[in-house]
């Protein structure tokens, strides 16, 4: 299956959202993490059963970095995503958000309670516990990132995700893009990754599945129960021996949790 790229104008034409689309079936929207959008085996497997729409956060699209300057605050970003979802003609799609994308998805579900039919969040940011501060991935040394993201950074799944392109020029461009993406998304997270979401979570109406890596070193799995308590009727699943990215590090276990929920 080929990935299509759709250009969706938003924010009064000031911003263009690139939406990667793949697969056939019921509509599913995926909100990517802070590092940007990348297809992986998890999304490829979902695309066998669903039409996956993956909007790229403003500023993270290669060749269009400066749209981020049109987005002043997190509420702006939420409105832009809502406009893009309407422009795509998506009517209560299924939704999945990972990390930063999980926060975006929860903000959308809080602001627009009827926007999604069902929502899965994978190790989302957006809350803050002084007893378990979220690791600042922007300040972290590059050498520390693998162990922040993965329980086992040496695993084949982790190594595949962390691999640097062999071609030196391509590697430099990829690194520059990653740094830019982290800055573009980090603008809406730090210094404290809690922008009042906890006050809005009671508005969420869609069924929500919260999936968390038990050994997440970026945002502790202690947040999972807190988030679950704040969303009525939500379900929490903890993935054992797993870090911040369960759909990569424990792909099969995560799919076994996700698949029945989406199909319900």
- Residue 204 has a pLDDT of 98
Q: What is the dihedral of CA 81, 86, 92, 96, to 10 degrees?
A: -30
Q: What is the mean pLDDT of residues 47-75?
A: 97
Q: How far is CA 20 from CA 56, 81, 156, 158, 191, in A?
A: 8, 14, 26, 23, 30
Q: What was the pLDDT predicted at 250?
A: 98
Weakest mean pLDDT among 40-54, 132-146, 207-221: 132-146
Whole-number pLDDT of residue 8: 98
> How confident is the model over 208-234, as pLDDT tens digits?
999 999 999 999 999 999 999 999 999
pLDDT, position 96: 99
Quote the pLDDT of residue 1: 75
Q: How far apart are CA 55 and CA 37, in angstroms?
A: 8
Alpha-carbon distance 29 to 200, whole Å?
A: 21
Q: How confident is the model at residue 95 (pLDDT cuts 50, 70, 90)?
A: very high
pLDDT tier at 88, thresholds 50, 70, 90: very high
The arithmetic mean of pLDDT across residues 79-84, rounded, is 98
> Band of the pLDDT at 142, cuts 50, 70, 90?
confident
Query: Can you read off the two tokens belonging to residue 148?
Result: 């922040």
Q: By mean pLDDT, which of 90-94, 139-143, 260-264 is the weakest?
A: 139-143
How would residue 115 be classed by pLDDT, with cut points 50, 70 and 90? very high
Residue-wise pLDDT for 30-41, tens only, equals: 999 999 999 999
Question: How many domains are contained in the chain?
Answer: 1
Provide the pLDDT for residue 87: 97
Question: How far from the centroid of its chain's Cα atoms is residue 58's Cα?
Answer: 14
Q: d(Cα 157, Cα 248) in Å, to the nearest integer?
A: 6
Across the chain, what does the average pLDDT equal? Answer: 97
Q: Look up the CATH number of the domain holding residue 51.
A: 3.40.50.1820
Q: Which of 64-68, 77-81, 164-168 has the lowest mean pLDDT?
A: 164-168
Instruction: Report pLDDT for 236.
Output: 99
Name the residue range of residue 115's domain. 4-263
pTM above 0.95, yes or no: yes
């Amino acid at each position: 299956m080929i990935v299509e790229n759709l250009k969706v104008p938003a924010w009064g034409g000031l911003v263009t959202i690139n939406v990667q689309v793949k697969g056939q079936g019921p509509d599913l929207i995926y909100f990517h993490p802070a590092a940007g959008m990348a297809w992986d085996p998890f999304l490829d497997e979902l695309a066998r059963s669903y039409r996956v729409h993956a909007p790229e956060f403003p500023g993270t699209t290669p060749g269009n970095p400066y749209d981020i300057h049109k987005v002043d605050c997190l509420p702006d970003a939420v409105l832009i995503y809502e406009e893009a979802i309407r422009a795509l003609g998506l009517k209560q799609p299924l939704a999945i958000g990972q990390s930063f994308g999980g926060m975006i998805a929860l903000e959308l579900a809080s602001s627009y309670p009827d926007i999604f039919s069902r929502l899965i969040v994978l190790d989302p940011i957006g809350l803050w516990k002084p007893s378990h501060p979220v690791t600042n991935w922007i300040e972290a040394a590059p050498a520390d990132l693998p162990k922040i993201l993965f329980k086992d950074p040496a695993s084949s799944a982790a190594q595949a995700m962390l691999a640097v392109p062999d071609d030196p020029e391509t590697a430099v461009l990829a690194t520059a893009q990653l740094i830019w993406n982290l800055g573009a998304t980090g603008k809406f997270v730090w210094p404290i990754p809690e922008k009042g979401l906890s006050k809005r979570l009671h508005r969420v109406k869609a069924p929500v599945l919260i999936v968390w890596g038990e050994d997440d070193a970026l945002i502790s799995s202690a947040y999972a129960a807190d988030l679950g308590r704040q969303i009525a009727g939500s379900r929490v699943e903890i993935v054992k021996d797993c870090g911040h990215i369960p759909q990569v590090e424990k792909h099969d276990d995560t799919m076994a949790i996700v698949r029945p929920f989406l199909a319900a």
